[in-house]
Structure 1
């Protein structure tokens, strides 16, 4: 193994590979900053270029781009309340509130510093325990995945800054939207209204861009510029308080990194689910849950570490068993096969130096994120010197271009505008938007895993809890949802009692 690592180090330190890593890092940071252009899209656009690359630089380009894009999605979320990637949506309110309070460097520093630490944690797990952890994840069936998804949906109840009831309504709206199209176990058109564009369902990226970017433009138009917005005259030292926060919240860092890695291992989960679940868990176990959504660093630390650690976790089942952990590793598997590196247990025997080179690329990419992330933050903050009446049309233009670029379809632009109106109406009535997106992301998975579980158990509901791991996950999920309901009822009772007095 040591000889393979030495060979891999020589491959990674090749000038051409280092150039590819640096260029991919800059590309990923820029794409991640633009709302609507996700990390998956950035990775997919690189695939044609990898045809002309040897295996190591080809995989290095994908790894570096996705790592950088996931982090840089935090920047527009912090400065403009428009997350650049879906993974940044879970904690956008806290980061934006810090900017409104005149501390953007704290939010951006947390995003950068703890993304690096989380990414290194996930990489260490991937390097040390890939075969064992992938084997454990492979033992999960549709029943276990059903409860994992239910746990993610249950977290949406207390992700929202409003009441649990309003968060539940937002979640149900998202689940209803997820039912549109033919992406269901029966393959039957649902809620398509005889529209061919609706057969594929509602595209997530145009929807997310509309709900965050377009709604923000509408809010600015309605307020006539009087609504509070971030005004950044100067960005202070980004790393000034990071060591203090690391010592103050060590458990949140470890918990977020560990949860992100575990979620990344589960096929189909990805950084989005990791960020939402970590933020929800942070709020659930926090001693100051009432501060979440007001510019509190605790949730940012845990979720920021989680979304980057999940990237490395997703590579574990992809490398060892050829099962993609997320959409990015699904693309990567295609590139591996194109380079005659079919993923599976034999890849550690036939191409160990290439696998270890991938591990080292993860380490380099996360370390490179510190200086390049600092540079992109300094450049990105200059956009706020532009007057809002000029900035908002530019944002809307980027939103339209980003939505159109997904499928080269004007229909997606209409989807973006429609969901912008929906988000505007929801937020004007204090309904959280994040559970809507979570419902759309996890709704199809919930249905698929439930149907598969029922088929395996001949329609018996006891089949959902008759396996030990499934029973534990069910108990955790039901406990979290039940605790939230009881806590809400108690809070309402206290409020009524105080009002009566």
Structure 2
């Protein structure tokens, strides 16, 4: 109890509260700009943390990332451009709800479910951190291979009514992911003699190109319009949100827990948690055909998962010093810079600091509602700007975001090329989601498969040797059998009917 009181006194000081408020506003700004991510917000804050004590430094990063993830939903609903990778899974749902005149409700669902998911993640982080981290440490390359393969399965599951086009899009993403040096053998692949491709293609230019640039190309005819369409107004964002959350409370709770568990796995993150939760919600839904048309059920599930995953990523980071994602990797560096080594001992030697971090997490997620509402209220004015002014500004932010990845003009060209490719794919009804997910998960699948094959001397049956790997492997195989069956069976029925006719 004394440690909890000390933690409360540490958090509710004017210095920490001012840092939380300032970092939250900064995160809202970064997340609302297409192309700028939560990871970028974290990286930009690191130089500032040099001059802070450990708790304000961590509070700044925690608050900024939580707000950036939520703010990324705003351009998704208004412009069909996800502000962060974690928002990409449900951008189409939010945008379609906006076209139906429910943009306020879509953003209200995002805010409320993100806050609930974040609170669920904080509860699991605070009470079950050692157990979850111990479970994550049991994973070897076998388990990571099957888990990533399940993620690729989700890429096809969320592709809509045509799994074949989803699979083709996924294969294109895997092709992009293979560019560069093989992480295991060191072989160069698809570099075409360009030194910029030796380290592969960064994820940020890919994301901006596939979503933002492609969307701008689709909207290019609007630039010449003299009459500006009336922008959607996010009126009463929380109207009906409570009813929707109660209707889909089971999916919201499931996604909160699932997001935390996925976030606790090193190498996973909010974007993967969001995609998997959305796909699982679609599979378990009584009305899966409504997904992609503005159905709030998928929105509730994915929004709950992404903020929960942020909390879950801190489980292995705090307990064992293993980063759950790029953000927690930066956090570990900040802690070590402050003379604090994350690990099991930190719960005894710095128990007050750990409890204070938990309280900051809770505070940041509770602030999502008032500050997020403020952001929603102000965001609609962006569409009042003429397209001839707005779209070049968005393109400018996209170029800055792509350039800032490695301070390289080459990444800008990558962004533009992939944007053109994504535009032609979308015009022919190929989903873009599977492609971006394959770019993220492709290296994970390949590197862990190669390590397992080296470890097992090429014997693939040993991938099922460990119990957890066996369960994940069986699930992955069953999912792919179901995908193939649902793709091939309707084609055979059509051919049989055409022959009979």
1:401 is displaced (CA, Å) by 1.6
Q: Which residue in 2 is equivalent to 1:483? A: 482
* 1:400 match: secondary structure: helix
Unaligned ranges ≥5, structure 2 = none
1:147–1:474 CA contact under 8 A, matched in 2: yes
Going from structure 1 to structure 2, the CA distance change for 1:133 and 1:382 (only over 3 Å counts) comes to same
1:470 is displaced (CA, Å) by 0.7
* 1:156 match: secondary structure: helix
Q: Which residue in 2 is equivalent to 1:82? A: 81
Q: In structure 2, how many angstroms separate the alpha carbons of the residues matched to 1:497 and 1:420?
A: 40
Q: Which residue in 2 is equivalent to 1:280? A: 279
1:495 is displaced (CA, Å) by 5.2
Going from structure 1 to structure 2, the CA distance change for 1:16 and 1:174 (only over 3 Å counts) comes to same
Going from structure 1 to structure 2, the CA distance change for 1:276 and 1:230 (only over 3 Å counts) comes to farther
1:408 is displaced (CA, Å) by 1.7
Q: Which residue in 2 is equivalent to 1:127? A: 126
- The answer as to 2:366 corresponding to 1:371 is no
Instruction: Decide which moves more: 214-223 or 158-167.
Output: 214-223
- The answer as to 2:298 corresponding to 1:299 is yes
1:218–1:424 CA contact under 8 A, matched in 2: yes
1:162–1:430 CA contact under 8 A, matched in 2: no
Q: Which residue in 2 is equivalent to 1:235? A: 234
- The answer as to 2:153 corresponding to 1:163 is no
Q: In structure 2, how many angstroms separate the alpha carbons of the residues matched to 1:234 and 1:497?
A: 51
1:399 is displaced (CA, Å) by 1.1
1:53 is displaced (CA, Å) by 0.3
- The answer as to 2:73 corresponding to 1:68 is no
Q: In structure 2, how many angstroms separate the alpha carbons of the residues matched to 1:53 and 1:175?
A: 42
1:80–1:230 CA contact under 8 A, matched in 2: no
1:220 is displaced (CA, Å) by 1.7
1:428 is displaced (CA, Å) by 0.8
2:27–2:41 CA contact under 8 A, matched in 1: yes
1:143 is displaced (CA, Å) by 0.5
Q: In structure 2, how many angstroms separate the alpha carbons of the residues matched to 1:387 and 1:157?
A: 37
Matches within 5 A, 1:351-370: 351-370=350-369
1:143–1:464 CA contact under 8 A, matched in 2: yes
- 1:106-133 Cα offsets, whole Å, 9 max, x none, are 1101111100000000000000011111
Going from structure 1 to structure 2, the CA distance change for 1:378 and 1:486 (only over 3 Å counts) comes to same
Q: In structure 1, how many angstroms separate the alpha carbons of the residues matched to 2:239 and 2:151?
A: 34
1:235 is displaced (CA, Å) by 1.9
2:98–2:232 CA contact under 8 A, matched in 1: no
Q: Which residue in 1 is equivalent to 2:250? A: 251
Going from structure 1 to structure 2, the CA distance change for 1:457 and 1:230 (only over 3 Å counts) comes to farther
Q: Which residue in 2 is equivalent to 1:38? A: 37
TM-score by length of 1: 0.97
Q: In structure 2, how many angstroms separate the alpha carbons of the residues matched to 1:238 and 1:422?
A: 35
Q: Which residue in 1 is equivalent to 2:138? A: 139
Matches within 5 A, 1:17-416: 17-221=16-220, 231-416=230-415
2:75–2:83 CA contact under 8 A, matched in 1: yes
2:148–2:444 CA contact under 8 A, matched in 1: yes
* 2:23 match: secondary structure: helix
Instruction: Decide which moves more: 472-481 or 345-354.
Output: 472-481
Going from structure 1 to structure 2, the CA distance change for 1:152 and 1:70 (only over 3 Å counts) comes to same
The list of structure 1 runs, each at least 4 consecutive aligned residues, that deviate by more than 6 angstroms after superposition, is: 223-226, 497-501
1:488 is displaced (CA, Å) by 2.8
Going from structure 1 to structure 2, the CA distance change for 1:224 and 1:34 (only over 3 Å counts) comes to closer
Q: In structure 2, how many angstroms separate the alpha carbons of the residues matched to 1:225 and 1:498?
A: 48
Q: In structure 1, how many angstroms separate the alpha carbons of the residues matched to 2:257 and 2:401?
A: 33
- 1:73-99 Cα offsets, whole Å, 9 max, x none, are 111011001100011111111111111
Q: In structure 2, how many angstroms separate the alpha carbons of the residues matched to 1:221 and 1:52?
A: 45
1:476 is displaced (CA, Å) by 1.1
1:225 is displaced (CA, Å) by 6.7
Unaligned ranges ≥5, structure 1 = none
* 2:188 match: secondary structure: coil
Matches within 5 A, 1:440-451: 440-451=439-450
- 1:317-360 Cα offsets, whole Å, 9 max, x none, are 00111110000000000011111110000000110000110000
* 1:102 match: secondary structure: coil
- 1:146-172 Cα offsets, whole Å, 9 max, x none, are 111011001111111241011001101
Going from structure 1 to structure 2, the CA distance change for 1:16 and 1:230 (only over 3 Å counts) comes to farther
Q: In structure 2, how many angstroms separate the alpha carbons of the residues matched to 1:457 and 1:53?
A: 48
2:156–2:163 CA contact under 8 A, matched in 1: yes
TM-score by length of 2: 0.97
Going from structure 1 to structure 2, the CA distance change for 1:3 and 1:494 (only over 3 Å counts) comes to farther
Q: In structure 2, how many angstroms separate the alpha carbons of the residues matched to 1:492 and 1:84?
A: 38
- The answer as to 2:437 corresponding to 1:432 is no
Going from structure 1 to structure 2, the CA distance change for 1:171 and 1:335 (only over 3 Å counts) comes to same
Q: Which residue in 2 is equivalent to 1:460? A: 459
Q: In structure 1, how many angstroms separate the alpha carbons of the residues matched to 2:232 and 2:120?
A: 35
